Structure 1
């Protein structure tokens, strides 16, 4: 019993001696895309990629030279632009009417959210000054602001409508209807990142996040839309 206790204390002492806590800042850009499917799993094809950005603070605790934990508190803007051709096609089907010749349409959905990822970090030194690392974990997110916007242009005249993603009903200029973009504020998903560190201070990484929880709150007569988001990012940062 005493031997086991001494061994445990020795391991803790070694880990504490090698442990390193540090904080830093990070910022970068992202390319994200919404996937929206109907109840049968068919992708409606309304969305395409959109460029956004992210930034925040980093906290890291390394138990040894090669393994540790890292968390971040990030402001992230992401979402999707709308596929113009597919948007017109969907409106023709749903409204059962012809779209005027020469009309162009577009739109976008934008999320402004706070994300809190938690990673397990594996680090491998290449030289005394250069190391590569991998981050593997998940994240929780809260969308504090979200908007969907649609625009139609005909003969030089532009009409646009903007909806809050958290309103149950929306007004499309003519009538009130259930908001098909109705969105849940909380989400969670998978997060990974691969990158390098220079002089244990500067780091740069390529990341991927996927929201796994159901984002859509839209439901009518048992019919639900399934909405998820994929986000690829390139970011850099600095440890103090």
Structure 2
């Protein structure tokens, strides 16, 4: 029995040594982001909701990564990325009776330094992988612009740019799928689900980031 345990210990040590390696690389890609729906109501009619039109905005991300391969199936990957998140929201301007007479459009752009920590599973004998884990986001800066459309076919551009009352720390969950080729090149797609992006004063208030992220990456060196 003792010999069997020693054999399995040596086998495990050899298996770990075979796959325990660190690879570093770089990546870049596209963000398609928006914020969660936030219901607005009329002050004099709390039960009546105002319809808000949410749209996605394009952004980009770029940075580096390192992953630790501790088996043929599992990696632990950390990344440091500059990432742009944003949204476009159209809100009808109404009178006290609820009649809309104009539209107000708000565009937000938020700049983050993000740190995802992901567990990756590679399907045996393929380059296909699945990944999931938390992501910490640190706000670097932000910009808000808004404009108005006057009724009767007359369009006005009442634009202004100022900061957004966004939180300096944003926590998200990440899940994705990708494919890594033998030459170290990989492509991936992720869904990013933010938990709390803003406090009061954000437009709309108490919203959360939502984004799809499409990336191209390349393994530069393995140690």
Partner of 1:172: none
What is the Cα deviation at residue 226 of structure 1? 2.6
Distance change >3 Å, CA 10–CA 98, structure 1 → 2: closer
Could you tell me how far apart the structure 1 residues matched to 2:18 and 2:100 are?
Answer: 72
8 Å CA contact 2:40–2:50 kept in 1: the answer is no
- 1:209 equivalent in structure 2: 192
Match of 1:19 in 2: 20
Give the equivalent residue in structure 2 for 1:92: 94
Q: Give 1:141's match in structure 2, choosing from 118, 125, 137.
A: 137
Q: Separation in 1 of the partners of 2:50 and 2:62?
A: 31
Provide the rounded CA distance (Å) in 2 between the counterparts of 1:5 and 1:37.
Answer: 61
Are the aligned partners of 2:147 and 2:156 in contact in 1 as well (CA < 8 Å)?
Answer: no
How far apart are the structure 1 equivalents of 2:159 and 2:173? 35
Separation of aligned partners in 1, 2:175 and 2:98? 44
- With over 3 angstroms needed to count, the CA separation of the structure-2 counterparts of 1:158 and 1:39, relative to structure 1, is closer
Matching residue of 1:113: 112
| Runs (5+) with no aligned partner, structure 1 | 166-181
Does 1:229 pair with 2:201?
no
1:37 and 1:44 in contact (8 A); partners too: no
- What is the alpha-carbon distance in structure 2 between the residues aligned to residue 162 and residue 73 of structure 1? 28
List 4+ stretches of structure 1 deviating above 4 A: 2-10, 93-99, 153-157
Which of 57, 63, 69 in structure 1 is aligned with 2:64?
57
- Contact map agreement 1:35 1:43 (CA 8 A) in 2: no
Q: Is the 8 A contact 2:187 2:217 kept in 1?
A: yes
Question: 3-state DSSP class of the match of 1:37?
Answer: coil
Corresponding residue for 1:81? 88
Determine which structure has the larger helix proportion and give its number: 1
- 2:50 and 2:214 map into 1 onto residues whose CA distance is 27
Q: Deviations over 1:170-226 (max 9, x none)?
A: xxxxxxxxxxxx2211011110110101115000011111111x222217xxxx943
Shift of 1:14: 2.7
- Count of residues in Structure 1 that have an aligned counterpart in Structure 2: 206
Contact 2:197/2:208 (8 A) holds in 1: yes
- Which consecutive residues of structure 2, in runs of 5 or more, have no partner in the other structure? 42-48
TM-score where L is the length of structure 1: 0.74
SS at match of 2:166: coil
CA distance in 2, matches of 1:113, 1:56: 12
TM-superposed CA distance for 1:106, in Å, is 2.7
